[in-house]
Amino acid sequence: MHEMSIAMALVEQLQRIAAEQHATRITEVEVRCGVLRQVVPEALELAFCAASAETPAAGALLRVVEEGLRARCRACGQEFEAAIDNYLCPQCRMADVELLAGRDVVLQSVTCETEDRDRAP
């Protein structure tokens, strides 16, 4: 299950962000997953829950947004929505493409709670 390695890398990144921002808690995380990564959202959510235990991200809501596969034909320059099993250009019918989107996992946004540093004890 590659979702666990993705979740562990995500939690490491979130811990760095929490430290940099002096966050006491991370409440929401949005991740964009390209279809070529074949991430199962439910499996990633379970892995994230396990990986984030006892970290500032424990209990955070994880939103997984699927990113479609976008390609550009190298022969004619046409940009189009491709499928995992079909890279055929709709304009010139060639299957030689440059992938523009759909193969990455990107941390899109993080919502944190921070301590109020201006408040007197």
Residues 5-32: pLDDT tens digits?
A: 999 999 999 999 999 999 999 999 999 9
The listed CATH number (3.60.21.10, 3.30.2320.50, 1.20.80.10, 1.10.3720.10) that belongs to domain 2-69+101-114: 3.30.2320.50
Cα–Cα separations (whole angstroms), residue 50 to 4, 22, 28, 101, 111: 9, 23, 16, 29, 19
The rounded distance, in Å, linking the Cα atoms of 34 and 29 is 16
State the number of CA atoms in the 13 A half-sphere of 86 facing the CB: 8
The ranges assigned to domains in the chain are 2-69+101-114
**pLDDT band, residue 119 (cuts 50/70/90):** very low
- What is the pTM for the complete model shown? 0.82
Looking at the DSSP bridge assignments, the partners of residue 101 are 70
